[in-house]
Amino acid sequence: MSVDGWNTLLVLGGIRSGKSEFAESLVADAPTVRYVATAPEGDPEDTEWAARLAVHRARRPGSWTSEETAADPGRLAALIAAAGPNDTLLVDDLGGWVTVLLDPAHQPADDTATIAELAAAVRASAARLVLVSPEVGLSLVPTTPLGRAFVDALGATNRAVAEACDAVVLVVAGQPTRLKPAEAALPTVLAQAGSGPAGTPPAAPAVATAATMATAAAPVTGGAAEAEATLPEVFTPAVPPAPAADPATAGAAWAAPTMALPMVATGLVIQPGMELPMPDDYAGPQAVDRLATLDLPGAGLGVLERVVGFAAATQGTTVPAPWASVRVLLLHGDHAGGASAGATPGGSARRARQARAGKGPLARLAAENGASLQVVEAPASAAIEDGPALTLDQVESALRYGWRLAEQAADAGVQLLVLAACGAGTETAAAAVLAATAGAEPPAVLGRVVTEHGEIDDAAWMVRCAAVRDALHRTRRAPREARDILAELGGGDVAVATGVLLGATARRIPVLLDGPVGVAAGMVSRDLAGQARHWCLLPDHGGQPAVRLAADVLGLTPLVDLRLDLGEGATALATLPLLRSALALAANLPVHPSLSGEDDDEEFTEPEPAGPGPTSTEPDFTEPEPAGPGPTSTEPDFTGPTPAGSGPTGTGGDFTEPEPAGPGPTTAGPDQPVFPGPRAD
């Protein structure tokens, strides 16, 4: 589960519930941890208790240091108060601390005051603090006075510490559940009268659902609708002419603007926990299984099978079609302060102008793929080390603006969106978002700074790391809800990208992610609509550490490893022909003959024999059937006299076999003597 946005956290749980293991996992990424052990050593003859302590000690990494507070329960508050901002403390557990507190050796004492001191130290702590405590309030009231005193004191301690902590988690059977901050309740939406008279009371509140969001895109006039910003123009870059093309057309403009759709006002409220559509759970696996039945040589499509499954799930069919209409959304929004250290002044604006003119790598790749291109101006972001990047009102407007961009694409028949970005400092903002949402260390997710001349600027990298560090320290007590993260750390481009992902999910449009802004938006969108990540495909991580980490958290597996560095969005467009080819093969190849029962060989019919005996294959000749004993002649162009007796005749061409009339041979030709016997006449 996600427990992002905390500086002090209390982990509650029953015996053997897994609360200690969960608490240890929360600080596993910290470079150093001070482990505060509160339990006394116990009876030396109690081997079972000693074994429990040994298991706890064995789990601690060698880099951790240990502190003991069993001798003085008041020392725990002092340790917490003395910890600095760069320290990480793990206290395990408060049950042992209460046991020592109630020990007669430390009485008489004001237990209530001691508990209050501990809660005050937790509330004022500058360190990253995790406390573990057993939850014993769910059991029966103990029958002994000492048992009742223990559960009463521990209950009071848990309540005081929970109130002082930023977050509280209850672990039951190894499953953590967040108790504080509680999940935000769904706010209500007041329906506005589009053209009603001023002062008309609003309609009754209605809870916003996915159905209302999907159907709320009808144009409205007046009121807040006119205040919505106009969506940017959509361009369709054209493929450049070949070198041998007609000189008259060689200078034609690359990009021709397409018709911009009219402005729409969705009237939606983007809120945590939205129920948006999910891809088809059955079509994807069935489409992959279908590949095994196709007439494919070798092992098949390999990793591209995942593309077929993704397209099938998002299209809701087992035979997905290649994406015909693709739109690239290029988000341009700069980040001020240390986030953009090392960036060339005005470089991002020049990239945006290039894209509008149909020039540059992104526009040319879009032209090769027949994709339309839309350059989106996102709100500029302030320096995150000094204050919020945006106001909450700006975040709300940016989210709605991104949603409307997705709505516009869906209404235009777009089947696939590609998220791209070209702002200065986008990598830093994405690293700050990942640090806040995934607990990542800024140096681990910030890639090295490469100047436009191809040189590595380590000084600029250190400035960016310091900016993220200072921003996280500044916001260590701030809420970690999606809007708060976008306002404090993410900035305009990440906020617009988040709105695009949510709007695309609502309209069932898949999205190709390709870079830090896209994956940062994916991380933020989890708290708003967990379904959004299932509509995203990551072709390549580009060798960027932030994208790798976010892909792992979001469950996105990159398909290729091209290591292109042409700007966010370029790698997705470079791999798009490959993805389309895989879908075309999956859709058009026939089923293997062994499974279809068909034979591809030429049809052959065996002749049926006419009867017993051999047959002749010579032309114009039929072998006569013999009528009786004696030889027959087969010479052509010969006709013998027909005898007076009855008998069969031959069937050969121009030939009749005579039947002997009596004993002795006869002649078969004219002017030949006749041997003694009956006269011929």
Give me the active site residues, please.
568
Task: Report the C-alpha gap between 139 and 132 in whole angstroms.
Answer: 18
| Side chain identity, residue 4 | D
Task: Report the C-alpha gap between 36 and 76 in whole angstroms.
Answer: 8
* Half-sphere exposure for 168 (CA within 13 Å, toward CB): 19
**Angle at the Cα of 630 from the Cα atoms of 624 and 634, rounded to 5 degrees:** 40
Q: Which stretches within 197-345 are classed as H helix?
A: 210-215, 247-250, 283-291, 305-315
- Cβ(549)–Cβ(445) below 8 Å: yes
The answer to whether the Cα torsion of 573, 578, 584, 586 is positive or negative is: negative
- Cβ(419)–Cβ(521) below 8 Å: yes
- Cβ(426)–Cβ(568) below 8 Å: yes
Task: Report the C-alpha gap between 37 and 91 in whole angstroms.
Answer: 6
Short-list 422, 423, 313, 412, CA closest to 372: 412
**Angle at the Cα of 248 from the Cα atoms of 243 and 254, rounded to 5 degrees:** 65
**Angle at the Cα of 70 from the Cα atoms of 68 and 76, rounded to 5 degrees:** 65
Q: What is the DSSP letter of 590?
A: P
- Cβ(403)–Cβ(276) below 8 Å: no
φ, ψ dihedrals at 480, nearest 5°:
-115, 35
- Cβ(73)–Cβ(114) below 8 Å: yes
In this structure, the strands spanning 88-92 and 128-134 are: parallel
Instruction: Give the max Cα distance, the chain.
Output: 164
| Integer-rounded Cα radius of gyration of the chain | 42
Task: Report the C-alpha gap between 70 and 99 in whole angstroms.
Answer: 9
Tell me which residue has tokens 């607990």.
439
Q: How many C-beta atoms lie closer than 10 Å to residue 552's C-beta?
A: 12
Task: Report the C-alpha gap between 122 and 304 in whole angstroms.
Answer: 52
Structure tokens at 561: 């490893």
**For the residues of 108-132, what is the DSSP string, one character each?**
S--HHHHHHHHHHHHHT--SEEEEE
- Cβ(159)–Cβ(112) below 8 Å: no
Structure tokens at 641: 């006299």
Task: Report the C-alpha gap between 375 and 329 in whole angstroms.
Answer: 6
Short-list 570, 541, 512, 350, CA closest to 447: 541
| CA 401 to mean position of chain CA atoms | 22
Task: Report the C-alpha gap between 464 and 475 in whole angstroms.
Answer: 17
The answer to whether the Cα torsion of 527, 542, 507, 321 is positive or negative is: negative
| CA 407 to mean position of chain CA atoms | 20
Task: Report the C-alpha gap between 480 and 4 in whole angstroms.
Answer: 6
- Cβ(250)–Cβ(241) below 8 Å: yes
**For the residues of 617-635, what is the DSSP string, one character each?**
-STT--PPPP-SSS-----
| Side chain identity, residue 564 | L
Tell me which residue has tokens 């002795």.
664
